[in-house]
Amino acid sequence: MLPIEVSSLKKNYGDLKAVDGISFTVKEGEVFGLLGPNGAGKTTTIEIMEGLRERDGGDVKVLGFDPWKNGYELHKKIGVIPQEFTFFEKTTPREAIIYYADLFNIKVNPDEILKEVLLEESANVNFDSLSGGQKQKTGLALSLVNSPELLFLDEPTTGLDPNARRAIWEVIRGLKAKGKTIILTTHYLDEAQQLSDRVAIMDHGHIVAMGTTEEIIQQHGSGERLEIHGSEKLAEYIKANTELQVDYDKIKGEVTIPLKKKIDSLAALAAAEQSGLDWGDIQTRQDSLDDVFVKLVNEPVGEQGEVASEEKISKKRRR
């Protein structure tokens, strides 16, 4: 049994198809990133898996449970940090941990958990006096109280400064090292790339790409290419004297040669040298996840007309 099995999941808000038939599975010990712009359907998906929302269609099994019907049982086994985590204003992280332990009817050592999320120094500060990063760490601490094997982290670093983000990443890496299965939503590409074993890119309720970041780049990116700074004549010369495909970017003044094999670059450079024309900087480049992401989420997804604007989605979601 896989920790998470989702197939043909659907959720509508009125006419809006917030999640439109997505399927994926998550393996034990894996960090799975749900990546997408605001309003792509990430939070709806994660909340359905957590048992906080009812689905309209499809099948969802989390640790073998139907999350909506068996939520009460499921919640004892999972850890969750919701988006924009908040807690009782006048309660300290240490008290919050003890409170959760009492609710779960288990004994924990608060210091151990505080250490795990790097929050020892602020253990006795009221929640409303904590910084954004410390608040998120409190949320992480609480999600660990019941020693869950499966963790859901919904945009754990949104709104945090770069240092605080890195501190949270460190905590998440620590959890991963302990073998926990983690579902992570984010709209930061670097975060998904840094933390996830596999990524699903969501847009308008669909999964538009899924796999390791390398796989996604390979599938949806343009592949490796050689770029030579030079004139249009140079481009024509290389094209005439090799069997390579040669493009020219007039604005950048760049000759671009897609590389099927690395050795192709030698032939291109030899031709450039032979031409007797001037040529400048050379480099090989590959599409990054950023390039692929921008390409994917800007392209219309599914049938035109059935997807609503992001604004509309987020408005609906705020209810």
Partner 1 sequence: MVSGKRIYSDFKVFSRGYLRNKFGLFFGLVFPVILILIFGAIFSGGSTGKVNVYAQNQDTGPFATPQMNIASKFLSALNESGTITVITVQTSENFSQYLADHSSSDGIVIPENFSTNYLASHQVNITVYGNPTSSTSGIVIGTVNGYANYFNLQRFNGTIVIGLNSATVNTQQTKYIDFLIPGLIGFSILTSPMFSLVNISSEYKKTKLFKQLSLTPLTKMEWLASKVIWYIVLTIAGFLLMVGVGIFAFGAHVAITPWLIPFLVLGPMLFAALGMLVGTVTKNPETAGVIGNIVTFPMMFLAGTFFPISSMPQYLQTFAHVLPLFYVTEGLNNAMVYGNVNGTIIDISVLGIITVVIFVLAVKLFKWRED
Cβ proximity to partner 1, 129 vs 131, nearer residue = 129
Does residue 104 bind partner 1 (CB under 8 A)? yes
Sequence-separated (6 or more) residues with CB below 8 Å from residue 120: 111, 114
Does residue 249 bind partner 1 (CB under 8 A)? no
Does residue 54 bind partner 1 (CB under 8 A)? yes
Write out the DSSP string of 184-231: EEES-HHHHHHH-SEEEEEETTEEEEEE-HHHHHHHHS---EEEEEE-
Write down the least CB distance from residue 265 to partner 1, Å.
53
Does residue 71 bind partner 1 (CB under 8 A)? yes
Does residue 75 bind partner 1 (CB under 8 A)? yes
Sequence-separated (6 or more) residues with CB below 8 Å from residue 57: 8, 9, 10, 11, 21
Tell me the C-alpha distance between 234 and 241, whole Å.
11
Cβ proximity to partner 1, 99 vs 169, nearer residue = 99
Single-letter amino acid code for the residue at 210: M
Q: Which of 20, 50, 264, 287 binds partner 1 (CB under 8 A)?
A: 50
Residue 11's SS3 state is strand
How many CB atoms are located within 10 Å of the residue 255 CB? 27
Does residue 231 bind partner 1 (CB under 8 A)? no
User: Judged by CB under 8 A, which stretch of 51-59, 223-231, 243-251, 267-275 contacts partner 1?
Assistant: 51-59
Does residue 206 bind partner 1 (CB under 8 A)? no
Would you state the structure tokens that stand for residue 121, as one six-digit string? 């120094």
Does residue 51 bind partner 1 (CB under 8 A)? yes
Does residue 99 bind partner 1 (CB under 8 A)? yes
Cβ proximity to partner 1, 30 vs 50, nearer residue = 50
Alpha-helical regions (H) of the chain: 42-50, 71-74, 93-104, 110-116, 132-144, 162-177, 189-195, 213-220, 232-241, 264-275, 289-298, 310-317
Write down the least CB distance from residue 308 to partner 1, Å.
19
Cβ proximity to partner 1, 53 vs 198, nearer residue = 53
Is the Cβ–Cβ distance between 274 and 241 less than 8 Å?
yes
Tell me the C-alpha distance between 183 and 128, whole Å.
27
Q: Which of 7, 86, 284, 309 binds partner 1 (CB under 8 A)?
A: 86
Does residue 65 bind partner 1 (CB under 8 A)? no
Residue 5's SS3 state is strand
Does residue 133 bind partner 1 (CB under 8 A)? no
Does residue 140 bind partner 1 (CB under 8 A)? no
Backbone φ and ψ of 50, nearest 5°: -80, -10
Does residue 304 bind partner 1 (CB under 8 A)? no
Cβ proximity to partner 1, 181 vs 275, nearer residue = 181
Does residue 78 bind partner 1 (CB under 8 A)? yes
Does residue 319 bind partner 1 (CB under 8 A)? yes
Strand order across the beta sheet in which 198-203 lies: 78-81, 150-154, 181-186, 31-35, 198-203, 206-211
Tell me the C-alpha distance between 11 and 158, whole Å.
24
User: Judged by CB under 8 A, which stretch of 25-33, 45-53, 247-255, 288-296 contacts partner 1?
Assistant: 45-53
Write down the least CB distance from residue 19 to partner 1, Å.
14
- Rg of the chain (C-alpha set): 24
Q: Which of 2, 52, 267, 269 binds partner 1 (CB under 8 A)?
A: 52
Q: Which residues bind partner 1 (CB under 8 A)?
A: 47, 50-54, 71-72, 75-76, 78, 80, 82-91, 95-96, 99-100, 102-105, 126, 319
